[in-house]
Amino acid sequence: MLHLELLRARNILIVAPDGPLQKADFEHLAKKINPVIASKGKLTGLLIYVKTFPGWRNLRAFVAHLKFVVDHHRQIERIAAVTSSKNLKAMTRIAGYFVKPDVKHFDLEQETQALVWLETGS
């Protein structure tokens, strides 16, 4: 399940998974993010907060994740991964080559810095 918190004034969405990702998580995420993109033209930032990457429940969840990325990455300016997961840290480096948003890793104790970076780009 994904916990979602929209910081409307900052145009930033915080996403915090608490278990293996499911197809329904990405459907729920799209329902949350699509109205913001429609009204503002983009999402300034997406903060992914997770201690360790939980993986996907099944192949359908993985495919739903890829579809979400393909459908939305051009409407997001920056993505911050706040995590202690070495796998997610590596994934942020790799993702930076394939998606439009700037992607950056932050350690768990750097959530405030991640929010500042999402908002300002510096």
Give residue-wise pLDDT tens across range 67-107. Answer: 999 999 999 999 999 998 777 777 777 776 677 788 898 99
Taking only the tens place, the pLDDT of each residue in 21-38 is 999 999 999 999 999 999
Position 92 scores a pLDDT of: 73
Q: In terms of CATH, what superfamily is 2-120?
A: STAS domain (3.30.750.24)
Closest CA to 50 of 8, 1, 10, 96: 1
Position 23 scores a pLDDT of: 97
Residues 6+ apart with CB under 8 A from 87: 52, 53
Mean pLDDT of the chain: 91
Q: Is the pLDDT of residue 113 over 70?
A: yes
CA–CA gap between residue 76 and residue 85 (Å, rounded)? 23
